[in-house]
Amino acid sequence: MCALAFALATSGCATKKYVRNTVSPVSAKVDQVSDQTSKNSQNIEDTRKEVKQVDERATNGINAAKERADAADTHAGDASNRADKAQQSANQAQQAADKNRQDISGLRDVVANIDDYKLQTSVSVPFKFNRYRLDDESRGQLDKLASDVKTDRRYFISVEGFTDQTGSKEYNEALSRRRADAVVQYLVAQHEIPIYRIHMIGLGDQKPVDDARNREARAKNRRVEVKVFSADQVAAGLQKGQTSGNVTPEAGYQSASATK
């Protein structure tokens, strides 16, 4: 009985020792794996944080770049609009200059033989500031001028519009043409002056009659000058010379040509 108990005790101790020897390495391995797993989890978490930070920096950088690009596009658009407006202003100024040259050229063609056409009469029609409508006094001046030329046969009327120096050059040129247009319209509509006898131009603030900078000077410069040039007196003189036997310049030229 004692021997059996000893044997069992000895066998139990051996089994426990065996179990400890077998389980201990496994337990150690499990602990090692668990530690490694914890480290890996920590590394993964750290990596995720780094990736998140990199992603945030990249997103911020992209947004900042987009904002700068949008701002650049806005500035470029503004610059393009300013350039377009400047080009439009330049085109308008060029058109106004071309029109003035054409008007002056047409007027020069008419008075090319200035020895025949002489200044017969003239009036200066005043205008209020930034206005281009005729008042009663101006209409009276034009009525008298029109009645004086109705008996003429060879004449033309020059109508030159002017402004003071207030405002831009382009605006003043346009305003001076409106003032000249008002005079032309009145002469044609109210007095039936043939339009082909009238030559109109707007000269803006050019040719001021008073260079001063005060109110009185500006009032003088806001005007339309209407001048009537006639060749009737010259034609009458030539006709008189022909009837009295005098040699006219044209006849003299023909005689000289025949001599040759």
What whole-number distance in Å separates Cα of residue 215 and Cα of residue 164?
A: 10
Domain membership of residue 226 as a residue range: 111-241
Question: Could you state, in chain order, the average pLDDT of each consecutive group of 10 residues for the chain (260 residues)?
Answer: 55 61 67 73 77 78 82 80 83 81 65 69 94 94 92 90 94 96 96 94 94 92 95 57 42 33
In a domain, 65, yes or no: no
**Tokens standing for residue 233:** 């007196």
User: Which distant-in-sequence residues (6+ apart) come within 8 Å of 159 by Cβ?
Assistant: 180, 183, 184, 198, 199, 200, 201, 224, 225, 226
In a domain, 219, yes or no: yes
In a domain, 236, yes or no: yes
Q: For position 188, what pLDDT does the model report?
A: 96
Indicate whether this model's pTM tops 0.75. Answer: no
In a domain, 77, yes or no: no
The torsion of the CA quartet 25, 30, 34, 40, rounded to 10 degrees, works out to 80
In a domain, 103, yes or no: no
Q: For position 13, what pLDDT does the model report?
A: 59
In a domain, 162, yes or no: yes
Q: For position 184, what pLDDT does the model report?
A: 97
In a domain, 6, yes or no: no
57-104 confidence digits (pLDDT tens) = 878 888 888 888 888 778 777 888 888 888 888 888 888 778 777 767
Work out whether the CA dihedral 82, 88, 92, 98 comes out positive or negative.
Answer: positive
CATH code of the domain containing 226:
3.30.1330.60
Q: For position 251, what pLDDT does the model report?
A: 36
24-47 confidence digits (pLDDT tens) = 676 677 677 677 777 777 777 777
In a domain, 79, yes or no: no
The tally of domains found in the chain comes to 1
